[in-house]
Each structure stands twice: as C-alpha cells, then as structure tokens.
Amino acid sequence: MSVVDVIASALVLLGVTFTLLGAIGLQRFPDVFARMHAVSKPVTLGLGLTLLGAALHLDAPGAKVKLLLVVVLQLTTAPLSSHMIGRAAYRAGTELSPDTTIDEVTAAELEHG
C-alpha cells in the first residue's frame, strides 16, 4: 500500500464517520431546525471527504474532475437548501422544541418593528 492509498482510505473513513454522525443527529434531535443543522453540516463535510479520498485513489483525470465538481456543488447547494427549508418551516409555524430557549427570529422582528 502506498502513502496515497493510506491517505485516501483515511479520508473515506473520516467522511463516512461524519456522515454517520449526521444520521445519528437526524434521529436524536428534537425538532426540524436541529435536525436540519445535524444533517447539513456533517453530511456535507462527510461527502466532501469521502469524494476527495476517492479522487485520490482514482487514476483517471476526468473522474477526478467529476468528483471535485460534485464536492463544489454540494458545498454550494447544501447550505442554501437547508437555509430555505428552515425559513419555510419557521414561516409555516413549525413548533420549536421545548428545549429551545431563545427564538432569535421573533426577537429580531420585535426590534425592527
């Protein structure tokens, strides 16, 4: 095994770990807003690390470019989509978890009229 193979394997393993943690957070967190946070951040990082590890392992330059393009698209679309889902859920009146102590959106609306 070469050094590149070890690094690629480590990246894939780390990426899978982040994705697993995101899935556990999806099951354990109490409301849509916490779940959205648990899914968007670690799963995006997990997918990125996994694909970067795969890109290191592959020899074909075209395949590497495709994998890196997927990483870039994931990094741009995941935060935007999770933000829009959160706004839509809040505006639809989704209940916050009883553990939520501060509603920053309502506080900001009260300050600005």
List the chain pLDDT tens, one digit each, 113 residues. Answer: 799 999 999 999 999 999 999 999 889 988 888 888 888 888 889 999 999 999 998 889 999 999 999 999 998 898 888 888 888 888 888 887 888 777 777 766 656 65
Total number of domains in the chain? 1
pLDDT of residue 111: 65
Q: What pLDDT, on the 0 to 100 scale, is given for residue 113?
A: 53
Alpha carbons within 13 angstroms on the beta-carbon side of residue 107 total 4
Could you tell me the sign of the dihedral formed by the alpha carbons of 17, 19, 24, 30, in that order? positive
Backbone angles phi, psi at 11, to 5 degrees: -65, -40
**Residue 33's closest CA among 100, 80, 101?**
100
Check which CATH number belongs to the domain holding 96 and give it: 1.10.287
Domain residues for 88? 3-112
Distance CA 16, CA 87 (A): 29
Cα separation, 63 vs 47, in Å, equals 16
pTM across the whole model:
0.77
How many whole angstroms separate alpha carbon 21 and alpha carbon 100? 22
CA 113 to chain centre: 34
**pLDDT of 39:** 84
